[in-house]
Structures are given as structure tokens and as C-alpha cells.
Amino acid sequence: MEFDIALNKVSDEASAKMLVKAEEDCVETCFDRHETQKTQCGFGKSGVCCKICHMGPCRITPKAPKGICGATADTIAARNFLREVSGGTSAHSDHGRHLVLKLKAVAKGEAPGYAIKDETALRYAAKLYGIDGYDEREKNNLALELADLFLNEFSEQEGFLKTLSLAPQKRQGIWNAKGVNPNGIDRTVVEAMHRTTMGVDHDYKNLLMHAIRTALADGWGGARIASIVSDILFGTPKPVKSTANLGVLKKNTVNILIHGHEPELSEILNVAVGDPEVKEYAKSAGADGVTLAGICCTANEILMRHGVPIAGNFLQQELAIITGAVEMMVIDVQCCMPGLPDVAKNYHTEIISTTDIAKTIGADHVKMNEHDPLKSAKELVKRAIDNYKNRTEEKINIPSEKEPLVAGFSVRAIKHMLGGKYRASFRPLNDAIMQNRILGVVGIVGCNTTKQKTDGYSNRLSEELIKRNVLLLQTGCSAIGSAKAGMLKPEVALEMAGDGLREVCETVGIPPILHLGSCVDNSRILEAATEVIFEGGLGDDFSMVPAVGVAPEWMSEKAIAIGSYFVASGINVVLGNPLYVSGSVHEYLHNGAKEDFGACFHCIEDPIEAADKIVEILMQKREALGINKKSERKLLDMKDRRAL
Ligand code: BF8
Ligand code: SF4
């Protein structure tokens, strides 16, 4: 493949170089398989293919408008949508559950290698959930009660999720009125599977209400709990410098990639690579040390807390191996392609799976020793070091591209930066929005997909929005896309930003694009929006705040759950590629939901049109708040000041 052609598929040169190399090395990647899968099923795309029972599969056409059982297109599309939301909710929530179980084990002194790193986060969470003695009790005793409370969030059968109470009062009222409060997360998902099995729930609207309920069990349940517990166990992120893109791999070090989502494993591997004995072992193998770098969200987790460099986002997982310089890729759960071992067998890379719920054919499965995880981690690192000698010199080509970045913006960190350490507050942000220095806040989240040029839409949209004075909060693979484009370098983003945004950012010392973490950390965006509401002046519900969520290059069911809990929270969501829905289901999600929840989905496949739409929504919210008039004056003032 020509380099120029490769650059039509991916935005960064490092990835384009690896696509060229893949062809030279005769290695098949997802970009090739996209071509072989090109004619994708139209029935699937409109959500009207059903294989829920074995009288089917049934697909709806004008000539066959009903399935064998009589199911309509709307019933089928709504069932499929609910199952997708359930998949996404389950991924985030099961991840959260593992962390809660770890917290419980730590509290009981049964998790060697792990500890409560952030007691402030523990006490703050206990306070939020109304636990007595949150400020004075012994920390393990407090953590045990909190862990049990969180476990109950999964198993609650009759009551509703306690985490919902972290939302502003008015939104809780809307959920109550619509009857979409979820019971326990597990119960909600089991009910979703029940309702969508053959011959149960056939009313598309009723099914969509359960999709909303299930998504809320993610954003105001499992995902939020995952972020809270991660902060308690591993520390609440604060601004940290690092670098991103394939150029973080080094020619003369043993390179280990950690890929997936759970911070539990990456945290301990990070400790292992810093161990003097391991470092010595690497030297004895002729290497200059060990480089640990990340792919996808586990990368975001250790970037946020330790500044561990990012090798790439979702569509770079195979490309990283094609550098020929990766000794080991350690995978856990979610977004790890089953094709990885096929790529790895062309090089010396070992793919190691580590979680019993996520095995891959061709990967070697290594179970971490629960009683001594550091020992297991060190053994893995040493195994990677042993593999260093197996490199094939002619196959190594590490692209030089890498960009510096600043990440680590937890809500606590943003609050401190905005208001100062002793009066941490969102006030300066609210004021800046009310004075139209900042137009509004947009969360850009989600993945890459072979359907779109990697990072193309996401980066173009980000650039356009900061130019138009919109403050960006990013997570997941889109944040990594911005990092690779150099836009998480504060001085670069400040240069691109509009006058108002730039002035505010320079004054308070935050960059125009804030990297908030992994995909489960989208709950941090809701947390930030809640802080904005509590601070006052911008309405008392999410639907009033000038804020929008965007998933530009999404592909995962997780993104559907995230989008749905944003909409259910009253925040409009722009998607860069379509949901697989049609008919009444499409109409409800892209329009009707506005009436019930104050927000809906908007699918816009062009980034500039998306920017226009986002600005239009922000302006409508501003208008409704009555802050536009005042702000026009403010902008003039600013220009006048500059002219002087
Ligand atoms: O949870 S953004 S491709 S890595 S699904 Fe996956 Fe999408 Fe990346 Fe993280 Ni999120
Ligand atoms: Fe067909 Fe109905 Fe069975 Fe679905 S549930 S496969 S529509 S018969």
C-alpha cells in the first residue's frame, strides 16, 4: 500500500507507515478485513434482523413486514437496541464489580499488592453515599462498608440504585416521573435479557424505556462506581505529562504493551517494570531497560495516574505489533481484537491473556497469582525480557512519531485548577460560560472504526470546537486521537482556541482540551456537569446547561450505553455514524426522547456540520438561560480591550 493511500485510512503518519509495513510483511489487519467485509448487511444496519428464536432468523422487508411470530420492525429494532445497551452496560459494570470486590478484599486485608491509595477519595465517596462517620472512621472499616454498599448496587432487587442520588434533584424527579429508575445493575440487565427473549415485551416504547433504565444503571451505576473505586484504590488523577503514539516504543528496550480496560493489572505491571531486580534482568539480556506503554483504555488509566506513555488507540493495536519491536502484549478485557495472535505470529510478540472471562485463541493465558500479584507481574515482565533476544532485526521499524501531552483531569483536579487549592470550585467556569468567554462544554468520547478515517472526524471536530470557544472534555480513544495530533499539548491547543476560551484557559491554567480518562470515566463528565449545576447560574438540570456529548467514531456497544445515559440525563448526543435502528425506534431516539428527557441523539456524519449543530444546541441553551445578551456585550468588551 502506498503511504498516501494509507493516509486516507488513518490520520497519523506513524499508523500510515505501519499500514505500508503490514503489506510489505504480508500481515493482514482489520483494515484489510474491512475490505473483505465491505458489503455489510442492510437488515443488520436498520436493526430489523431477528434471531431471537429459532423459527427465524427473520428479516423485515416490504414484502415480509412481520417476523414469523408476528414481530414488527419496531419490536425487532427495539429489542436489538436494548440488547446492545445491555452489552455496553454489562461491560462497564462488570469492570466496576471487579474493582469493588478488590476494594472489599483490600479492606479485609486479603489483597496483597493493593492498598487504599487515596483516603480522601474514600472519605468523599462515603460522604456522598451518606455513610456515618465518613470523616473519622478507620479507613479499612469504612472501605468495607462502602464496598458492601456498592455490591448492593449490583444485587438490589426492590429498591433503586443509590448512585442515582448523586444526580441533581430535578433530574432525579424526571427519572421518577418516567419510571426509569433502575433497580440493581444485575437485575436490570437480567430483566433486559428476559424482556427481549421470544414472546415477552413487544411494545417498542416499553422496550426503549428499559433501554434508558439499563443505560442509567451504567452511567449512574456501574461506570460511576468503577471510576470512584479506581480513584480510591489507585489514586485520583491529577495533571501529568506524558507522550503518545507508536514512537513511544524504543529500539533498545524491552517493549511491553498493556491493552484492555482494567487498571488492576496495569497498575501492578507498572510496579513490576520499576523493580530494580527486573531492571537488572533487562540489562543482563542486553536491553537498556523495559518500556511499558498502553493501548486503549487501560492505557488511559495508567496514563492518568502515572504518566505511562500511550502507544495508540483502538485501531493501532495491530499496528503496534507490526513495529516488530513488541516483546509482549498483555491483554485483559474489552476492545482486544481476536485477530491479535494472527498478527503477532508474524513477529516475535507474545500475546498474554490474563482474565478468565477473556481468553483468545492463540494467546497464552496466564492467571495472576491472587496472593502475590507482584510476583506474577514480575514473572511476566521477565518472560518479555527473555523474548527480547527473539527479535528479527530486519522486521523492526518503529515510527518516530510521538507527541507530548498533558492528561490527568479528574473532576477534583479541574476544581482545584479552577478555584485554587483552598477554594476548589467550578465558579470560574460557570462565570466564563455566563460571560460567553466559553460558549459551552462538550464531551467527546469513544472509539475508532474502520468505517471512518482513524481520528479524522474526532480531531477535525475538536479543532473546530475549540476554535469556536467550546471547552472540551475527552475520554477513551478519542482523547488518544487528540494526543497523537498534538492537541493535548496545552500550548498547541491554546494556539488553536478562540479568543474567549484561550483567555479563560490562560487565566486559570487549564488547557482547552481536558483528558478525563478511560471510557468508564465518562461518568466523570456527568460528575463535572453536576458540579456546574451545583455551582449555580446555569440552570438546575443537565438539559439546561450548554453542554453536548459526542461519539464521533464510535463502534462499541459501550458507546451506545454511554450515549443513552447521556440522553437519559438530558444531554444531547451527536454520533458520527448511525445507530442500527429504523422506523419508530429511530424516530424516538432521534426526536421523541426530547419530550421525555430533554435530549436526543443526532447522527451527523460530517464533522463541520456536527460542529454547527453543536453550536446551535449550545446557543439554544444559552438563549433559554438568558445569558446571550449579556455575553455579546462581554465579547465586545474583550475585543475593545485588545484593541486598546
Ligand atoms: O472503552 S473508546 S475502542 S478502548 S470502547 Fe474501546 Fe471505544 Fe476505545 Fe475503551 Ni471505549
Ligand atoms: Fe422471527 Fe419472531 Fe423468532 Fe424473531 S422472535 S426470529 S421475529 S419468529
- Ligand 1 centroid, distance to 295 Cα (angstroms): 10
Cell digits for 634? 462581554
Which ligand 1 atom is the nearest neighbour of the CA of 335? 6
Region for residue 296 given its phi and psi (left: phi exceeds 0; alpha: psi -120 to 50; beta: otherwise):
left
Which ligand 1 atom is the nearest neighbour of the CA of 520? 1
Using pLDDT thresholds of 50, 70 and 90, give the confidence band for residue 228: very high
Residue type, 619: M
**Does residue 314 have its Cβ closer than 6 Å to ligand 1?**
yes
**Does residue 551 have its Cβ closer than 6 Å to ligand 1?**
no
Residue 222 near residue 93, CB atoms below 8 Å: yes
Q: Give the global pTM.
A: 0.96
**Does residue 297 have its Cβ closer than 6 Å to ligand 1?**
yes
Closest CA to 76 of 111, 103, 50: 50
In this structure, which residue's CA is closest to atom 10 in ligand 1?
Answer: 519
Q: What is the H or E stretch that residue 340 is in?
A: helix 340-344
The DSSP letter of residue 96 is: H
Instruction: Tell whether the torsion through CA atoms of 515, 520, 522 and 525 is positive or negative.
Output: negative
Buried residues in 171-199 as b, exposed as e (16+ CB within 10 A):
bbebbeeeebbbbbbbbbbebbeebbeee
In this structure, which residue's CA is closest to atom 2 in ligand 2?
Answer: 69
Rounded Cα–Cα distance for residues 133 and 135 (Å): 5
SS3 content of the chain, % helix, strand, coil (to 5): 55, 10, 35
Is pLDDT at 637 greater than 90 in this prediction?
A: no
pLDDT tens digits, one per residue of 551-593: 999 999 999 999 999 999 999 999 999 999 999 999 999 999 9
Cell digits for 74? 419496531
Is pLDDT at 381 greater than 60 in this prediction?
A: yes
**Does residue 335 have its Cβ closer than 6 Å to ligand 1?**
yes
The pLDDT, as a whole number, for residue 634 is: 52
**Does residue 296 have its Cβ closer than 6 Å to ligand 1?**
yes
Using pLDDT thresholds of 50, 70 and 90, give the confidence band for residue 632: low
Q: How far apart are the first and last CA of the chain?
A: 55
Buried residues in 249-277 as b, exposed as e (16+ CB within 10 A):
bbeebbbbbbbbbbbbbbbbbbbbbebee
**Does residue 312 have its Cβ closer than 6 Å to ligand 1?**
no
- Ligand 1 centroid, distance to 270 Cα (angstroms): 21
Which ligand 1 atom is the nearest neighbour of the CA of 314? 3
**Candidates 298, 450, 477, 516: which one to mutate for ligand 1, based on the most atoms within 8 Å of Cβ?**
477
Task: Compute, in degrees rounded to 10, the torsion defined by CA atoms 488, 489, 494, 495.
Answer: -120
Is pLDDT at 65 greater than 50 in this prediction?
A: yes
The DSSP letter of residue 390 is: G
Q: What is the mean pLDDT of the chain?
A: 96
Alpha-helix residue ranges (DSSP H) falling in 348-455: 373-387, 411-419, 427-434
CB count within 10 Å of CB 634 equals: 17
pLDDT tens digits, one per residue of 608-620: 999 999 999 999 9
**Candidates 43, 49, 197, 198: which one to mutate for ligand 2, based on the most atoms within 8 Å of Cβ?**
198
Instruction: Tell whether the torsion through CA atoms of 268, 269, 274 and 277 is positive or negative.
Output: positive
Q: Which ligand is nearest to the CA of 552?
A: 1
In this structure, which residue's CA is closest to atom 4 in ligand 2?
Answer: 50
Rounded Cα–Cα distance for residues 466 and 486 (Å): 14
Which ligand 1 atom is the nearest neighbour of the CA of 556? 5
pLDDT tens digits, one per residue of 431-479: 999 999 999 999 999 999 999 999 999 999 999 999 999 999 999 999 9
- Ligand 2 centroid, distance to 585 Cα (angstroms): 18
Residue type, 25: D
Mean pLDDT of 364-377: 93
Q: What is the H or E stretch that residue 462 is in?
A: helix 456-467
Residue 399 near residue 247, CB atoms below 8 Å: yes
Beta strands in 10-82 (DSSP E): 49-50, 58-59
Using pLDDT thresholds of 50, 70 and 90, give the confidence band for residue 1: confident
The DSSP letter of residue 25 is: T
Rounded Cα–Cα distance for residues 389 and 227 (Å): 39
Residues with Cβ within 8 Å of residue 566, at least 6 apart in sequence: 219, 443, 522, 526, 549, 572, 573, 599
Rounded Cα–Cα distance for residues 606 and 460 (Å): 10
**Candidates 49, 51, 195: which one to mutate for ligand 2, based on the most atoms within 8 Å of Cβ?**
51
Is pLDDT at 391 greater than 60 in this prediction?
A: yes
Pocket of ligand 2 (CB under 6 A): 50-53, 55-58, 67-69, 71, 76, 198
Average the pLDDT over each of 69-83, 224-238, 367-381, 453-467 and give the range with the smallest value. Answer: 367-381
Alpha-helix residue ranges (DSSP H) falling in 162-292: 169-178, 185-195, 204-217, 223-234, 263-273, 276-284
Rounded Cα–Cα distance for residues 368 and 428 (Å): 46
Task: Compute, in degrees rounded to 10, the torsion defined by CA atoms 298, 303, 305, 307.
Answer: 150
**Does residue 351 have its Cβ closer than 6 Å to ligand 1?**
no
Alpha-helix residue ranges (DSSP H) falling in 40-168: 42-45, 73-107, 119-128, 139-155
pLDDT tens digits, one per residue of 170-205: 999 999 999 999 999 999 999 999 999 999 999 999
Longest CA–CA separation in the chain, Å: 77
pLDDT tens digits, one per residue of 289-298: 999 999 999 9
In total, the chain counts a number of residues equal to: 644
Region for residue 576 given its phi and psi (left: phi exceeds 0; alpha: psi -120 to 50; beta: otherwise):
alpha
In this structure, which residue's CA is closest to atom 9 in ligand 1?
Answer: 297
CA-atom Rg of the chain in angstroms: 24
The DSSP letter of residue 47 is: T
Residue type, 312: G
Is pLDDT at 118 greater than 90 in this prediction?
A: yes
Residue 588 near residue 444, CB atoms below 8 Å: no
The pLDDT, as a whole number, for residue 419 is: 87
Cell digits for 23? 503489506
**Candidates 43, 49, 51, 53: which one to mutate for ligand 2, based on the most atoms within 8 Å of Cβ?**
53
- Ligand 1 centroid, distance to 335 Cα (angstroms): 6
Residues with Cβ within 8 Å of residue 476, at least 6 apart in sequence: 297, 300, 313, 445, 446, 447, 518, 519, 522
Which ligand 1 atom is the nearest neighbour of the CA of 313? 8
The DSSP letter of residue 589 is: I
